[in-house]
């Protein structure tokens, strides 16, 4: 092939490029025309669509606008009505509140006069009660002073009369007794020696009486007066023999009544064990209540050969009631119960009581249940059953020959699981030196409560029963050696135990659920009634 000239070759290339550019120019024009047409067509369609939309909007406005206007007017009308109703409600509420306040003020105004009258009459009534109480107290004190200042005429024989102040009668009593004995001896026989001894004793008593009167009238020195006042406290204890002396004198012996202490004149206070039924013992520590209980237990064993069951939470203590009564345990008349066995003992006592009342068992020998620190049992489940037994003791145990003695330093309801009714189950009380609050719980009369304040020595107490006036007594001193003497005196019991020991019995269940539920129901009923 023949080669072209380079210049020609470039010319051909430029020509081809020019032709290509022309073709592209025509294509661009066509594209521009197409775009212009398309835009024009779109604008035409847009104008047509706007016209159509405007017509539809105009038709919609023509159709909806009246309804919207009506709805708007109706809404505004309802809103106005609601606001008007709300305003009326607020106004009525305000008027009601105003009426209430006005009525309240009117009522307060009307009650002012009533309150003033009530306050006036209350003050007058209170002042009247206080004045009446003051008059009663003044009258009582005046009566007591007049009674103390009164003079009695003591007649000795047919022609002898001696004026004696009422408050000096306890001191003059031995003199009158000796004068009477001297006159009897002189008139009945020629025992001049006996009459002489009685007269000498009478002279000594008259001397003591004269010194006491002189001391009270201010004729003695303060030291002598103090000595006489201290000696005046002694006779209540000095006139009281010991338990050993009573045993030697055979004053405590089989089939003889129980001696529940000696009064201020040294006279014994006799009681049958059946008459006591339930005895409450109280006193501060060191007042002698434990020894008094030991004396009563030992005396009951000697006089009646009773079977005694002693429950003492402090039985291991050397000065406890159980420790003092230990020598009597070997006789078989006294059983020292383990506190753990308390539910079993109370249950068996219930059964023994039922058997005796039903005639299934003889009422001899008697049964004596003694519980020291009675308040400690209130925490046990068997406490309600024990109270049920005590209630039966006050009504039925006299026929069954059963007696209960319980001691506690405090007899308030909170120490007995809020069971204040336990005090009503006690037919007799033995009150040693105690706090006034505790004495008030067991002794109802204020005069009897004053007797407790006069107790000074250990062993002194106030003994009272339901049917007898309280008596200032001194309990005979009882020691462990006396228990040994009693053990030798009574020997070994041949009676069968009414409550066998635990090792000789099969395992016994706890107190019946029915009995406990009955006691709990009774307690709940009493609490609800209260």
Whether the CB-CB separation of 149 and 138 falls below 8 Å is answered with no
Which contiguous run of DSSP H or E holds residue 85? helix 6-149
Nearest-angstrom CA–CA distance, 122 and 433: 41
Reported as a single tens digit per residue, the pLDDT across 70-109 is: 888 888 888 899 999 999 999 999 999 999 999 999 998 8
Looking at per-residue confidence, does 55 or 237 come out higher? 55
Reported as a single tens digit per residue, the pLDDT across 382-433 is: 888 888 888 887 777 677 888 999 998 888 877 787 777 788 788 888 999 8
Q: What residue ranges define each of the domains in the chain, with the CATH number in brackets?
A: 151-232 (no CATH), 263-529 (3.40.50.300)
The answer, yes or no, to whether residue 135 has pLDDT greater than 70, is yes
- Average pLDDT of the chain? 78
Nearest-angstrom CA–CA distance, 320 and 127: 53
Nearest-angstrom CA–CA distance, 454 and 450: 7
The answer, yes or no, to whether residue 48 has pLDDT greater than 60, is yes
Average pLDDT for residues 35-55, to the nearest whole number? Answer: 89
Tokens of 466: 């339901």
Give 440-448's long-range contacts (Cβ < 8 A, gap of 24+). 441/411, 441/412, 442/280, 442/282, 442/411, 443/470, 445/470
Whether the CB-CB separation of 261 and 387 falls below 8 Å is answered with no
The answer, yes or no, to whether residue 457 has pLDDT greater than 80, is yes
Which contiguous run of DSSP H or E holds residue 472? strand 471-474
Looking at per-residue confidence, does 62 or 357 come out higher? 357
Looking at per-residue confidence, does 130 or 182 come out higher? 130
| CA 422 remoteness from chain centre | 11
SS (HEC) of 52-74 = HHHHHHHHHHHHHHHHHHHHHHH
Instruction: Compute the radius of gyration of the chain from its Cα atoms.
Output: 55
| CA 320 remoteness from chain centre | 26
């Amino acid at each position: 092939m023949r080669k072209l000239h380079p210049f020609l070759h470039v010319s051909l290339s430029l020509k081809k490029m020019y032709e290509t550019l022309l073709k592209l120019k025509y294509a661009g024009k066509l594209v521009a025309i197409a775009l212009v047409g398309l835009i024009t067509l779109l604008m035409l369609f847009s104008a047509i669509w706007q016209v159509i939309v405007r017509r539809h909007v105009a038709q919609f406005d023509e159709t909806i606008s009246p309804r919207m206007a009506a709805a708007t007017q109706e809404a505004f009308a309802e809103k106005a009505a609601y606001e008007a109703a709300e305003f009326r409600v607020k106004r009525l509420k305000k008027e009601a509140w105003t009426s209430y306040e006005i009525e309240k003020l009117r009522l307060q105004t009307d009650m002012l006069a009533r309150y003033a009258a009530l306050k006036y009459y209350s003050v007058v009534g209170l002042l009247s009660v206080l004045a009446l109480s003051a008059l009663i107290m003044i009258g009582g004190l005046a009566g007591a002073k007049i009674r103390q200042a009164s003079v009695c005429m003591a007649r000795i024989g047919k022609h002898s009369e001696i004026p004696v102040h009422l408050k000096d009668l306890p001191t003059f009593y031995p003199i009158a007794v000796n004068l009477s004995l001297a006159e009897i001896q002189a008139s009945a026989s020629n025992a001049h020696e006996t009459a002489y001894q009685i007269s000498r004793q009478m002279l000594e008593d008259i001397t003591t009486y004269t010194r006491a009167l002189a001391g009270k009238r201010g004729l003695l020195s303060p030291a002598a007066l103090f000595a006489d006042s201290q000696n005046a406290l002694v006779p209540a204890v000095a006139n009281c023999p010991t338990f050993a002396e009573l045993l030697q004198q055979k004053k405590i012996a089989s089939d003889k009544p129980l001696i529940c202490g000696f009064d201020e004149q040294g006279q014994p206070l006799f009681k049958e064990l059946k008459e006591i039924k339930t005895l409450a013992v109280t006193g501060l520590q060191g007042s002698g209540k434990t020894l008094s209980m030991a004396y009563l237990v030992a005396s009951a064993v000697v006089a009646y050969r009773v079977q005694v069951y002693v429950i003492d939470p402090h039985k291991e203590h050397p000065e406890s009631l159980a420790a003092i009564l230990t020598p009597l345990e070997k006789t078989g008349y006294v059983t020292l119960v383990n506190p753990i066995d308390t539910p079993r003992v109370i249950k068996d006592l219930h059964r023994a009581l039922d058997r005796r009342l039903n005639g299934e068992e003889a009422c001899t020998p008697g049964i004596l249940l003694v519980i020291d620190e009675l308040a400690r049992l209130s925490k046990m489940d068997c406490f309600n059953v024990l109270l049920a037994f005590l209630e039966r003791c006050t009504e039925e145990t006299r026929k069954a020959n059963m007696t209960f003695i319980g001691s506690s330093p405090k007899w308030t309801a909170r120490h007995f699981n809020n069971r204040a009714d336990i005090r009503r189950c006690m037919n007799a009380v033995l009150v040693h030196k105690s706090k006034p609050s505790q004495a008030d719980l067991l002794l109802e009369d204020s005069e009897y409560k004053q007797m407790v304040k006069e107790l000074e020595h250990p062993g002194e107490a106030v003994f009272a029963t339901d049917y007898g006036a309280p008596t200032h007594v001194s309990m005979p001193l009882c020691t462990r050696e006396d228990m040994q003497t009693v053990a030798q005196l009574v020997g070994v019991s041949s009676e069968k135990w009414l409550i066998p020991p635990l090792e000789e019995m099969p395992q016994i269940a706890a107190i019946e659920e029915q009995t406990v539920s009955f006691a709990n129901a009774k307690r709940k009923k009493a609490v609800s009634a209260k």
